[in-house]
């Protein structure tokens, strides 16, 4: 008799499980249709001018470059005043990364030769990246303080130190994207579409 009543209880419980599960699912679905909570009432939307001030990224083809220009000679002065203390007098590195190197091995051997140093001249594929990073993040203690002219000049100086451009070159929004870096053809675009693909 005790076993029979216990069996009935289990049947009731088993019958209730799917009913409760459906009720819970309906509650979740119902909750997903409720409107999102209202904002907290703090802050405001950024103005177009504020967005423009920080929207300064530069593409490899030069989109996003500012107006202005700078020569290698002008860059030498800016570099000595604002960069050399960290990167060394001639880009050899000091407390910060080395900027000048031309050796990439016979076959771009960075993966197998630990003695090769990655620097602007032997590893960076686009000259515009140098402008972009310098303008946004340098000098280290005062990022964003360089003018576009100063940034073009420093970029020109560093490229000249790496023997990528001539010592009389002037960089601007037209000439900088046209600079072909030694490592340009060593990188390929990642064009994978969905799933795990290894190339």
Least confident of 9-23, 121-135, 172-186: 9-23
Longest dimension (CA), the chain: 104
User: Is pLDDT above 70 for 2?
Assistant: no
Cα separation, 93 vs 32, whole angstroms? 56
* E strand or H helix at 52: helix 48-54
Q: What is the DSSP letter of 67?
A: S
**Helix ranges restricted to H, the chain:** 2-32, 48-54, 72-82, 84-87, 120-123, 127-137, 148-161, 175-178
Q: Which CATH number fits domain 48-186: 3.40.50.10190, 1.10.760.10, 1.20.58.1880, 1.10.10.10?
A: 1.10.760.10
- pTM attached to this predicted model: 0.73
Bridging pattern class, strands 69-71 and 170-172: antiparallel
Q: What is the DSSP letter of 111?
A: G
- Identify the band that residue 25 occupies on the pLDDT scale cut at 50, 70 and 90: very low
Q: What is the pLDDT of residues 130-186, one digit of tens each?
A: 999 999 999 999 999 999 999 999 999 999 999 999 999 999 999 999 999 999 999
* Among 146, 184, 161, 179, CA closest to 66: 146
User: Rounded to 5, what percent of the chain is helix, strand, coil?
Assistant: 45, 5, 50
């Amino acid at each position: 008799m005790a076993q029979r009543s216990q069996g009935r209880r289990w049947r009731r419980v088993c019958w209730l499980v799917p009913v409760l599960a459906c009720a819970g699912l309906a509650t979740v679905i119902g909750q997903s249709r409720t409107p999102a909570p209202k904002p907290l009432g703090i802050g405001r939307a950024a103005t177009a001018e504020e967005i423009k001030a920080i929207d300064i990224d530069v593409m490899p083809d030069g989109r996003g470059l500012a107006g202005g220009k700078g020569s290698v000679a002008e860059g030498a002065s800016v570099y000595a005043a604002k960069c050399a203390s960290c990167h060394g007098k001639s880009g050899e590195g000091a407390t910060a990364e080395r900027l000048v190197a031309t050796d990439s091995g016979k076959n771009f051997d960075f993966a197998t030769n630990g003695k090769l140093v990655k620097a602007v001249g032997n590893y960076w594929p686009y000259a515009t990246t140098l402008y972009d990073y310098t303008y946004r993040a340098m000098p280290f203690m005062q990022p964003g303080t360089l003018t576009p002219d100063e940034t073009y000049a420093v970029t020109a100086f560093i490229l000249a130190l790496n023997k990528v451009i001539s010592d009389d070159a002037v960089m601007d929004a037209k000439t900088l994207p046209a600079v072909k870096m030694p490592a340009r053809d060593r990188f390929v675009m990642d064009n994978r579409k969905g799933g795990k693909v290894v190339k």
